[in-house]
Chain A
């Protein structure tokens, strides 16, 4: 009778390997969590004092040991170990089947053969690890808390926030009371914005010039100083004038296409750059002023003036002549004059009356092109209509082209109308506003014959359908306008 003792030994060996792997696994797991506790202890090194480090080490070791103990105490069933051995050595379930059959009371010749075969194969096996190492997921991160713990152990104690609440007792009233006007908060508000700090000298000068006509500088303690609106602060509130001004502003908003194009960068214009450079030179902001730089600047100004047809061209040219003659003072004076003219032109360009947005300028350009192209009309578009007048056909006073669309076709570059053609064959309806050959043909239905029917249908519809009352007059006016035509 075959003896399965060899098989039992193999199974015990595999079970021991499994236990070892379990010990590793759970020790790592325990060490990880214990290391987190150790880190916490080391963070509180200051209150714990000299006890912190030994305590952290003890916790770490205890965690790892308890994990290892847990792994060692877990049982490994013999059948599972036998199956693991079968898989590890590719024994095709011989060991598990043989051990299971060996435990049966009756042993058939086939089972005896099976056990003998299994024993023979197991005896030839080379000793190696059957159980695989399973590293726990949290154990992979063990180096992080360990490194942290080492750093904390070597570093000075972490300063901890004191648990004391702020003192709100009566002694707090002894603090100096701040007036509202000179409180830091108000000061902050009164301070110019950071953007203002970056303003170029030219803008600062212009601000001063604008306020020169005001009623004077802000008084100390005056709330108006905060808002920097000295011109209005001294006046009495005038509701009527506000309404008037507000009305003007609203009108301006209605003409949104006339608003200046705020997206374009005025500070980046060539004039502005030259102006800035000149001011920097003349005001001594740049100590490295030299005749060469002055000459270059004058050349640039002269070139800009020639290009834009500006009136400072002559001054710039005079300055250049003075430079060539070695008269720096005269050149500086000429440049100052040119700068004044440049600034005046810039002020005029940016003043409220001549504000023109990009769209406005482009539209005016388009209108001029229309006129050049021989388009009809093209008169002032900004004429006001009476209330509701512009909406009704034939009621407006606009000189813009009306009537046949074909005549207007391609009159404007924005007109992308497509010339069409009537289809061939009999048509059920009547054609109108045609641009092809059909445009020359008369209507199939007599206009005056049907307009009366349509008006009657309109009146029926208005009374029957839920048309808003405000629209009744407009609809009737529309039909009236058709009659007049």
Chain B
């Protein structure tokens, strides 16, 4: 298969999978696109929104559209790490000898839905860390690989909701993208009512295998990025740091910690997926602009003043991108801007 054909296949598969999800999920086109982007980029996605907006349904539908194993963990305050990872249990064999046997937890699945992840204690939340980063878990001194592709889709309620624990920054950083699920528009709400209150059920077809997902992940990494686009990505990430010399005033004033290098990786990888999904063979500045907020919003830690002022991180990221573009063209003369 030629490269063009592979790219066309990716574009078609992307569209097909999105169409399957959209059979169930009304609206939220950006959220669906970004969830697929996260999956093809090989990262994990965190969805944030108030209960009832269809976060869990979206992920379940996606899992139904893929020929992959799926498990769901409902996070509760009394959930223990072993409930996620698994544990060694004593079993008795035919000879009557007892020995430990590893009982796999729900993390051993291709697609893991960590529902309401911030309702569990930080200790339990952290049980996912190794699996998300290394695609393996260690129990009893034995490291056990997770099946590939491994893809965590977590949902969380806004921190302001009662009975929630904020996710540790280290774990937040493991998520490639953080998506905000917002209320649907009235037309979308009408469509939701029509779809969900009628007798006939919608059937989601399995349109993509795990092997194909893995192949697409490799293809995505081949997408070239020009030096000036890469520089722009670096500038955007650096501009989230209050101590950087060219950081905008808002960053200096409201940000305590900026994005890590993992943020830059996430930004570029997600941009590559977006470019390829549009049938383009290169990353553009527009891709970075579109994905800056999902890739960076959970990596920017506001300081006290920023929290007190109620600064919206998305707006902040928008200003950061603008300032990064200004930095990029600062050295150019007026004719080349």
A: which residues have CB within 8 A of B? 18, 21-22, 25, 76, 79-81, 83-84, 86, 92-94, 96-98, 100-101, 108-114, 117, 131-132, 134
Q: With an 8 A cutoff between CB atoms, is B257 at the interface?
A: no
Q: A100-B226, A100-B227, A112-B3 are in contact. Are A18 and B281 (CB under 8 A)?
A: no
Contact assessment for B229 and A114 in the assembled complex, using a CB-CB cutoff below 8 Å: no
Instruction: Kindly state the separation between the CA atoms of A109 and B1 in the bound complex, as whole angstroms.
Output: 11
Q: In whole angstroms, how far apart are the Cα atoms of A273 and B286 in the complex?
A: 86
Q: How far is the CA of A92 from the CA of B286 in the complex (A)?
A: 7
Binary CB contact string for chain B from 222 to 254 against chain A (1 if under 8 A, 0 otherwise): 111111110000000000000000000000000
B284 at the interface (CB under 8 A from A): yes
Cβ–Cβ contact B226 & A97, under 8 A? yes
Contacts of B336 in A (CB 8 A): 18, 76, 80-81, 83-84
Partner of A94, one of B3, B4, B282, B332: B282
Task: Using A96-B226, A97-B225, A97-B226 as known contacts, say yes or no to A110 and B335 having CB atoms under 8 A apart.
Answer: no
Whether A93 and B282, one on each chain, are in contact in the complex, defined by CB atoms closer than 8 angstroms, is: yes
Give a binary string over B197-241; 1 marks a CB under 8 Å from any A CB, 0 the rest. 000000000000000000000000011111111000000000000
| Bound-complex Cα distance A280 to B87 (A) | 126
| Cβ-defined partner of B282 (8 Å) among A114, A132, A134 | A114
Q: Choose one: B7, B223, B228, B334; the contact of A96 (CB below 8 Å).
A: B228
Contact residues in A for B223 (Cβ distance below 8 Å): 110
In the complex, chain B residues whose CB is within 8 Å of the CB of A81: 336
A21: B residues at CB distance < 8 A: 335
- B301–chain A nearest beta-carbon distance, Å: 31
Please, how many angstroms separate the alpha-carbon atoms of A177 and B332 in the complex?
75
Residue ID in chain B nearest A90 by CB atoms: B286
Q: Which residue of chain B is the closest to A133 with respect to CB atoms?
A: B335
| Contacting pair B3 A109 (CB below 8 A) | yes
Give bound CA distance, A413 to B222, whole Å: 99
Chain B residue numbers with a CB within 8 Å of A108 are 222, 224
Query: Given the complex, which residues of B lie within 8 Å of A80, measured CB to CB?
Result: 332, 336
- Interface centre among B225, B284, B286, B336, by most A CB within 10 Å? B336
List chain B positions with a Cβ less than 8 A from chain A: 2-4, 7, 222-229, 280-286, 332, 334-336
Question: Which A residues are in CB contact (< 8 Å) with B282?
Answer: 92-94, 97-98, 101, 114
CB nearest to B279 among chain A residues: A117
Other A-B pairs, 17, CB within 8 Å; known A25-B335, A92-B280, A98-B282: A18-B335, A18-B336, A76-B335, A76-B336, A80-B336, A81-B336, A93-B228, A97-B224, A97-B229, A101-B224, A109-B2, A110-B3, A110-B222, A110-B281, A114-B224, A117-B281, A134-B334
**Residues of the A chain whose Cβ atoms lie less than 8 Å from the Cβ of B7:** 110, 113
CB distance from A402 to the nearest CB of B (A): 66
Chain B residue at minimum C-beta to C-beta distance from A98:
B282
Chain A residues with CB under 8 Å of B3's CB are 109-110, 112-113
Q: Which B residues touch A84, using CB under 8 A? A: 335-336
B226 contact set on A, CB distance < 8 A: 93, 96-97, 100-101
Closest to A117 in B: B281
CB nearest to B280 among chain A residues: A92
B222 CB contacts on chain A under 8 angstroms: 108-110
Q: How far is the CA of A335 from the CA of B224 in the complex (A)?
A: 114
How near does chain A come to B155, taking the closest CB pair, in angstroms? 33
Which residues of the other chain, B, contact A100 by a CB distance below 8 angstroms? 226-227
A129 to chain B, nearest CB (A): 11
Alpha-carbon gap, A80 to B328, bound state (A): 12
Q: Which residues of chain A are near B228, meaning CB under 8 Å?
A: 79, 83, 93, 96
Chain B residues within an 8 Å CB radius of A117: 280-281
Bound-state CA distance A94–B276 (Å) is 13
Give the one of A84, A96, A110 with max B CB within 10 A: A110
Q: How far is the CA of A80 from the CA of B281 in the complex (A)?
A: 20
Which B residues are in CB contact (< 8 Å) with A113? Answer: 3-4, 7, 281
> What residues of chain A lie closer than 8 Å to B285, measured between beta carbons?
93
Q: How far is the CA of A25 from the CA of B335 in the complex (A)?
A: 10
Residues of A within 8 A of B283 (CB): 93, 97
Q: In chain A, what residue has the closest Cβ to B286?
A: A92
A-B CB contact pairs (8 Å), 17 listed: A21-B335, A76-B336, A81-B336, A84-B335, A84-B336, A92-B282, A97-B224, A97-B282, A101-B226, A109-B222, A110-B7, A110-B222, A113-B4, A113-B7, A114-B281, A117-B281, A134-B335
A134 partner residues in chain B, CB cutoff 8 A: 334-335
Q: Which residue of A lies closest to B278 (CB)?
A: A92
Instruction: Give A19 Cβ to nearest chain B Cβ, in Å.
Output: 9
Which B residue's beta carbon lies closest to that of A109?
B3
A89–B157 Cα distance when bound, in Å, is: 43
Instruction: Pick the residue among A79, A83, A111 that contacts B224 (CB under 8 A).
Output: A111
Q: What are the 3 closest A-B residue pairs judged by CB atoms, nearest first?
A: A114-B281, A109-B3, A97-B282
Give chain A nearest CB distance to B227 CB in angstroms: 6
Shortest CB-to-CB span from B11 to chain A, Å, is: 13
How many whole Å from A191's CB to the nearest CB in chain B? 67
How far, in angstroms, from A84 to B283 measured CA to CA in the complex?
16
Complex: chain B residue closest to A83, CB-CB: B228
A401 vs B171: C-alpha distance in the bound complex, in angstroms? 91
Minimum C-beta distance from B140 to chain A (A): 44
Chain A contacts of B225 at CB under 8 A?
97
Q: Closest residue to B229 on the A side, CB-wise?
A: A93
* Alpha-carbon separation in the docked complex, A86 to B227 (Å): 14
Quote the shortest CB–CB distance from B292 to chain A (angstroms).
Answer: 16
The answer on a CB contact under 8 Å between B227 and A22 is: no
**List of A residues within 8 angstroms of B224 by Cβ:** 97, 101, 108, 110-111, 114
Contacts of A114 in B (CB 8 A): 224, 281-282
Whole-angstrom distance between the Cβ of A88 and the nearest chain B Cβ = 11
Bound-complex Cα distance A93 to B283 (A): 7
User: Which residue of chain A is the closest to B225 with respect to CB atoms?
Assistant: A97
